[in-house]
Amino acid sequence: MKPSRGKITAFSCSDLRYDDDDKRKAPIKRSRGESFCCICGRRRFMEGATATSTALAVFPNCPSNASHLPSDDYMSVLNKVRPPRPDWYEKFHASLLNKLKDSYEIEIADYKSQLFSNLKGKAQKVLEIGIGTGPNLKYYAGEADVQVFGMDPNRKMEKYAQAAAEAAGLPLTNFEFLHAVGEAIPLGDASVDAVVGTLVLCSVKDVDMTLKEVKRVLRPGGIYLFVEHVAAKDGTVLRFMQNVLDPLQQIIADGCHLTRETGMKISEAGFSGVELNMAFLSKAFYVNPQVYGIARK
């Protein structure tokens, strides 16, 4: 991918780890025939006792296969992961996000255009986690036979997402808003062809569990398209700024973390193949670098 905007840098696999840690696993192996531009970001899920105990600590009443959860349990997980905010806050955050997204979307447009072209004609059922106000819908929702599930924990995003769906040419009969969190997706196993997530793993409570859910709802051969901002390299001025601003960012940006290594999390989540790229966006300020790419189930 060689968009005209911003700056793209390719890295070696060792650059996935900014901190030296001999306990971490060997660099990610790419699948045969797949390009791999590595970066640092926000580990393969530990399927043993550690991951199980962590999941039970956060979601003690949730089975590992979330497709069997009753609707009441989804709401229970939602309220536990993201306690209800005041109505005015939800409205304000949705409205603010809708107003402030334009400058970012202009700069990221070339990257998204090429990334989402992978969906055209290949994905009939698409789940977008953290759909927000729906800025991605224009890239993939224009085909009449596409069905989109737009998921977000903020109910006030729904009207903006619906408007974006209509503007993209997607009939509202083909769009369903899901009030839920990534840690418990209210869809069945292997139920969608693709999952989309942009700037969402920064704010989920449990990145590993969210990625596990993404894999669960994807059909075999399905794809996960992502754009995420990640921690800058240790020792840089940018990383220092992120460390300082991270607590404030979580408060004012609805739980957003600036120092997560999301790229590495995706790479080690157990997908059959991951294509990972890095971009620096001039208008994203301290929300850099950003990683984007495709993970295949």
Instruction: Give per-residue pLDDT as tens, 126-182.
Output: 999 999 999 999 999 987 789 999 999 999 999 999 999 999 999 999 999 999 999
Query: Which 3-state string (H, E, C) describes 56-94?
Result: HHHCCCCCCCHHHCCHHHHHHHHHHHCCCCCHHHHHHHH
User: 232, 225, 222: which is closest to 199 by C-alpha?
Assistant: 225
Type of residue numbered 251 = I
Per-residue pLDDT tens digits for 220-278 = 999 999 999 999 999 999 999 999 998 998 888 888 999 999 999 999 999 999 999 99
Contact 261, 271 (CB under 8 A): no
User: 37, 30, 35: which is closest to 15 by C-alpha?
Assistant: 37
Least confident of 59-73, 104-118, 193-207: 59-73
- CA–CA separation, 110 and 1 (whole Å): 9
Q: pLDDT at residue 72 above 50?
A: yes
Categorize the per-residue pLDDT at 32 as very low, low, confident or very high, splitting at 50, 70 and 90: very low
Tokens at 52, concatenated: 């199980």
pLDDT of residue 6: 46
Q: pLDDT at residue 63 above 50?
A: no
Highest mean pLDDT, choosing among 26-35, 44-53, 287-296: 287-296
Contact 212, 230 (CB under 8 A): no
